[in-house]
Structure 1
Amino acid sequence: MKKLSMLLCMVALLLTSCTRNEKQADATAVQPKVTEDEPQGRRCAAMDVLNEQLKADPALAGRMAAIENLTARVQKDKSLLRLQADGSILIPVVVNVLYRTTAQNVSAAQIQSQIDVLNADYNALNSDYSSVPALFSPVKASVGVHFVLKSVVRQSTTKTSWSTNDAMKKSAQGGINPTTPDSVLNIWVVGAMSGGVIGYAQFPGGASATDGVVIAYNCFGNTGAAASPFNLGRTATHEVGHWLNLRHIWGDATCGTDYVDDTPFHNAANYGCPSYPHYSTCSGTPVEQTMNYMDYTDDACMYMFTAGQKTRMLATFVSGGGRTLFAQ
C-alpha cells in the first residue's frame, strides 16, 4: 500500500525523475506506430506536460505541494470533504473542436456520447462496473460528480498535427482560448497529435490559461469517428482523472506510487487487455488493477475507480484544492 508520507517528496522528485520514469514505463511494451485514423497504443502526455510546466513556472511546484498537503489531510480526515461527498458537484463542460477534415469536426452526437460516458464512469453506472473482480470489489467506488455540456466551440484549422505545447488552447497560435476555466472544464478535441499521443490533461495548480483536457478526435466519445481500441470514451475518463489530480496507477515509475492507499503497486503501464489475474513483481507480488481507469489498457478493459481515488479527486473541490469553484 502506498504511504502518505511519500506525498511530501513528490514535487522534489518530479523535475529529476518523471521523464526517466515515463520512458521506463513505456519501455515495458512494444508500441505500434499510431496513425491519425487508427489509434493503437494508449499514450497520455499529462506527465510530460507537467514536467515542462514545472520547468517554465518556478511557482508551480509550490502550488502543487500545497494541494498535496491538503489532499493528505483530507485522506486522513474525510470529514473535511463535507458537501463534496454528497454527489452534488456539477461540472460544466465546454468542448472546443479544432478540425481540418470532416471527420475531425465531431458531431453533436459524438460530443454528447462523451458527456454520457463521463457521467456513467464517474457514477458507477457503466455496464462493465459489475465486471470488477471480487478481489477489488471492496474498494470500487462511485465518485459522485456529474458533467453537463455547456457549449461547443468549433474552428477550422490547417494543422495536420498538434504537439503538447498547448497551442490548441491559444487563439494566437491557431487554437481556441478556454472558456472561464476556473469554473468550466474545457476539453479540446483535435486531430492527430505528435508522438502518438491521444490525450493529456493539466493537473490542479497549473495556469488558468491552459487548464483543461486535450483528446484526439478518434478517441473521443463512443460513436461517430471514435476508433477502436479507444472508442468507448475512456480516454476522457482517464484524462479527467488527471485533471482531478489522479496519477497513473503505476506512479510513472517501476513500482511507483500514485499516492492512493487502495490501489496495488504496478510494475509499469499495462496495454491492451491483460488476462486476470495479472501479477506484479513489486513487493508482495500483488494482483495489478489493470481495469483501473488510470492504467493504459484499452477502453473495453478499464472500468473502475477506487475509494481512495475518489477521496483524492473530491479533495480538489475543498478550499485550496485547485477546483474549488466547481463546488460552489
Structure 2
Amino acid sequence: MKKLFFLLACGTLLLNACSKNEKPITGDTPEAEAPLPQGRRCASMDVLKDQLAKDPSLAGRMARIEELTGRLAKDQSLMRLLPDGSIEIPVAVNVLYRTAAQNISLAQIQSQIDILNKDYNGLNSEYGSVPYYNSVKAAVGIHFVLDTVVRKSTTRTSWATNDAMKRTSTGGLNAITPDSVLNIWIVGAMTGGVIGYAQFPGGTAATDGVVIVHSCFGNTGTAAAPFNLGRTATHEIGHWLNLRHIWGDANCGNDFVGDTPLHNEENYGCPTLPHYSTCTGTPIEMTMNYMDYTDDACMYMFTQGQKTRMLATFLTGGGRNGFAQ
C-alpha cells in the first residue's frame, strides 16, 4: 500500500499523459469520422498539463485542495461539515451531434444517470463480490439527478481536448451554472482515440465538467462494447472529484490514496485475477477499480481512501462546495 501524500506533486505528474507514449492532443481534425474506440483512453491529465501551463495560479489552487484533502484524511470528524446523508449532483447533458444516431435518446442519457447512482453507492451488481479488496471497497454516498438536456447540431466530425465543445463561440455549448451543476458534453468522436476527459477541481468555471464520446455513454442506444456499461462516465467523474489514475500516470506511480496498491501501469481489457504488480511488495493490482483502464465489464469499485478524496472536494475550499449547499 502506498503512503498518502497530501501536497500536489505537479512536477512529476505533469510529465505523464493519461496513456503512455502518446502525445497530448490539441487540434481538431475535420476529416473522416473516427471508428468506434477499442481501447480506453482518457485525456484528463493531458488537459490538466495544458491548463497548468496556461494558468500558473491553478497549481496553487490545486495544492490548497490537496492540503484540505490531507486534513480530512487525518481528521474524519471534518465530515460533520458535509450535508447529512447523500450529496446530490444535478447534471446537465449537452449533446453535440452530427448524425441522428449521435443525438442520443433521453433513455440512453437516463441509463447513464442510473449507472452513476449505482456505481457511486455500491449498488452495482458486482459490488457484493469484489475479489481481494472487500475490506476497502466504498459506497461514496453521492447521487446524481438529470437536470437539463441541451442539444445542438454540428458539422464537426471530431473534437479535440481544447475544450471547443464547451464554448458556443467555437461551435459547442456553454456550461450551465457549473458551480452547482455537473456539465457533461456528449460528442460524436474525439481525436487520438480519446473516449473522455474531465476537468479537475480548481479549474476555470467556464470549462468545468466532463466530455464523453456518445458510444461510451450509458448502456443502451449507441453505447458499444467494450465501453457499453457506463463506466467511462464513472471514471471521468472520479477525475472531476479529484481522483487520479490508479497507477499515478507513472510506472509504480502515486495516486495520492493510501489503500490502493501500486500498479506498474494502466491495465486494459479484463485481466486474469490475481494480477500481480512488480512494484515494491508485488501487490495484487486493483484492476477492478474505476480509475484503471480496464473494460467496463471489469471495473466496479472505489476504495475508502478514494471516497475521502472525493468527499473532501465538497468542503469549503474543495472546489465542489457549491454542490453541498
Is TM > 0.5 for Structure 1 vs Structure 2? yes
**Residues 1:2 and 2:6 aligned together:** no
| RMSD, matched Cα | 1.5
State the alpha-carbon separation in 1 of the partners of residues 81 and 140 from structure 2.
13
State the alpha-carbon separation in 2 of the partners of residues 41 and 14 from structure 1.
22
AA partner of residue 122 (structure 2): A
What is the match of residue 235 of structure 1?
232
AA partner of residue 315 (structure 1): A
State the alpha-carbon separation in 2 of the partners of residues 25 and 171 from structure 1.
29
What is the match of residue 43 of structure 2?
45
**Residues 1:13 and 2:12 aligned together:** yes
State the alpha-carbon separation in 2 of the partners of residues 314 and 212 from structure 1.
17
State the alpha-carbon separation in 1 of the partners of residues 282 and 169 from structure 2.
50
Offset at residue 3 of structure 1 (A): 1.8
- Give per-residue Cα distances to partners, 1:81-111, cap 9 Å, x unaligned: 2153743210000000000001100000000
Cα 1:25–1:164, aligned 2, differ >3 Å: closer, same or farther?
A: closer
**Residues 1:276 and 2:273 aligned together:** yes
What is the match of residue 225 of structure 1?
222
Mapping 1:26-37, distance limit 5 Å: 36-37=34-35
State the alpha-carbon separation in 2 of the partners of residues 208 and 136 from structure 1.
36
Cα 1:9–1:126, aligned 2, differ >3 Å: closer, same or farther?
A: closer
**Residues 1:82 and 2:94 aligned together:** no
Mapping 1:1-328, distance limit 5 Å: 1-4=1-4, 6-8=5-7, 10-15=9-14, 17-19=15-17, 22-23=19-20, 36-84=34-82, 86-133=84-131, 135-328=132-325
Are the aligned partners of 2:13 and 2:248 in contact in 1 as well (CA < 8 Å)? no
Moved more, 239-248 or 123-132: 123-132
What is the match of residue 30 of structure 1?
none
Tell me, which stretches of 5 or more residues in structure 1 are unaligned?
27-34
Offset at residue 131 of structure 1 (A): 2.7
State the alpha-carbon separation in 1 of the partners of residues 82 and 120 from structure 2.
14
State the alpha-carbon separation in 1 of the partners of residues 100 and 216 from structure 2.
16
Normalising by structure 2, report the TM-score.
0.94
Cα 1:297–1:85, aligned 2, differ >3 Å: closer, same or farther?
A: farther
State the alpha-carbon separation in 2 of the partners of residues 79 and 24 from structure 1.
42
State the alpha-carbon separation in 2 of the partners of residues 23 and 84 from structure 1.
37
Tell me, which stretches of 5 or more residues in structure 2 are unaligned?
24-32
AA partner of residue 3 (structure 1): K
Are the aligned partners of 2:6 and 2:69 in contact in 1 as well (CA < 8 Å)? no
State the alpha-carbon separation in 2 of the partners of residues 167 and 143 from structure 1.
32
Offset at residue 36 of structure 1 (A): 3.5
* Alignment length (residue pairs): 316
Instruction: State the secondary structure of the residue aligned to 1:226.
Output: coil
Instruction: State the secondary structure of the residue aligned to 1:154.
Output: strand
Percent pairwise identity: 72
What is the match of residue 31 of structure 1?
none
Cα 1:85–1:77, aligned 2, differ >3 Å: closer, same or farther?
A: farther
Instruction: State the secondary structure of the residue aligned to 1:118.
Output: helix
Offset at residue 125 of structure 1 (A): 0.5
State the alpha-carbon separation in 2 of the partners of residues 161 and 57 from structure 1.
26
Cα 1:57–1:222, aligned 2, differ >3 Å: closer, same or farther?
A: same
More helix by share: 1
